[in-house]
Structure 1
């Protein structure tokens, strides 16, 4: 039998877990947080950028994970709005916000330990676009380090499996993403982006190539979740075990 002191603590923790489960069980939970709270008074978000139409929210999971979420209703990677020139480059914005991840860690992450992930429609729980900004897993980091300089500027199959995924990969060179929009780059490879984008995962990983900084962009078709690997988020480690030192 639980002691009088321990029992309330355990019940309290169970209650918090139940609340978290309820929040994520609602597919509109993130939209409600951003639309009804963050754009009104910022909290619980850590930042709202009205000019670029996004909010930055510390995720419930992980020590450092943050989510960049549009303040306009954009359901996910399948949304036609992401292919419009008038829509902000949310992945470029997410890269600029990586300092929020660093702020939760003992040391800043090197660029090749930072990842941005967007899950396919069937590999996500929320019906509002959210970009996961977090640590790359140690396994994914080691695998990409081996092949980084072999990745070209055109999409091609990655010669290695990462986190159960067989990605297509390409490189983009530069300190930041600038006007390069990975959503548009991916859409250009598809015969019918309006129907095909929904099945795609999209991941952007910082890289330091032999001749300078850049990015590795990864994409694949999300397999059924029952396989155990589904979202682009699989390449991340929300416990941030990667050594940033």
Structure 2
């Protein structure tokens, strides 16, 4: 069997489970990364052993990738995320944006790329994963209009996005650098150990009047509404 056929067969054996009903195996992502990717890379596109994560193409969408830690970290509620020694996975996800661009006819504009983690009650898998994909046209329009109203302290976003009433902050810079969105959210909560799991967390590239940066969004998930709702897996903004 050729390498391509082996990879295809391996992927086929795992991927149907990823999109099965919510009552299916919630550890599929962990099994893919731990049992396969860290051993032989495939079906992941790449594995960064230094930063402890892998990049996996999601079957949904033309260009959606998942950044998945290679260590066992269940999700937003994980105590590991509150440890300053844990890698800044959002910074890593932004650095891997070329994986998304490679699937598109031309490079996404800065404010067209979004990184999203769904809250505990809005996810189906019990392994942390960041959805790396195009932002929806509606979400992009709202954030473009509100960008220069967003401050460096958490405050309600003036407008809803996909039914979400987000709280937002701005971050300046070409990259996230040492700014960790997870720790920034934790600092804003009274009891992070208990509250983090209820939160969606989203990072979107931005072009502010005074230079490039990011908009960070969060809200408490309700009715299964996840941070991924700001994304468009068909990547219509590229058409």
TM-score by length of 1: 0.89
Q: Name the structure 2 match of 1:174.
A: 173
Shift in CA distance, 81/89, structure 1 to aligned 2, threshold 3 Å: same
Aligned-partner Cα distance in 1 for 2:167–2:141:
17
Q: Counterpart of 2:42?
A: 43
- Which of structure 1's runs of 4+ aligned residues deviate more than 6 A? none
Q: Where does structure 2 lack aligned partners over 5 or more consecutive residues?
A: 1-13
Q: Which has the larger radius of gyration?
A: 1
Return the alpha-carbon distance in structure 1 between the equivalents of residues 61 and 33 of structure 2. 20
State the Cα distance separating 1:163 from its structure 2 match: 0.6
Residue 242 of structure 1 corresponds to 237
State the alpha-carbon separation in 2 of the partners of residues 214 and 19 from structure 1: 37
Q: Which residue of 2 aligns with 1:191?
A: 190
- In structure 1, what is the Cα distance between the partners aligned to 2:20 and 2:111? 35
What is the 5 A alignment of 1:206-245?
206-225=205-224, 230-243=225-238
SS at match of 1:88: coil
* SS, match of residue 68 in structure 2: strand
Shift in Å, 1:105: 0.3
Q: Is the 8 A contact 2:91 2:180 kept in 1?
A: yes
Query: How far apart, CA to CA, are the structure 1 residues paired with 2:97 and 2:16?
Result: 30
* CA deviation map 1:26-83 (0-9, x unaligned): 1000000000000000000000000000000000110000000000000001101011
Q: What value does the CA root-mean-square deviation take over the aligned residues? A: 1.7
Count of aligned positions: 226
Alpha-carbon distance between aligned partners in 2 of 1:20 and 1:70, rounded to the nearest angstrom = 17
Do the aligned partners of 2:100 and 2:133 also contact (CA within 8 Å) in 1?
Answer: yes
Q: Which runs of 5+ in 1 are unaligned?
A: 1-15
Matching residue of 2:69: 70
Structure 1: distance between partners of 2:54 and 2:18? 20
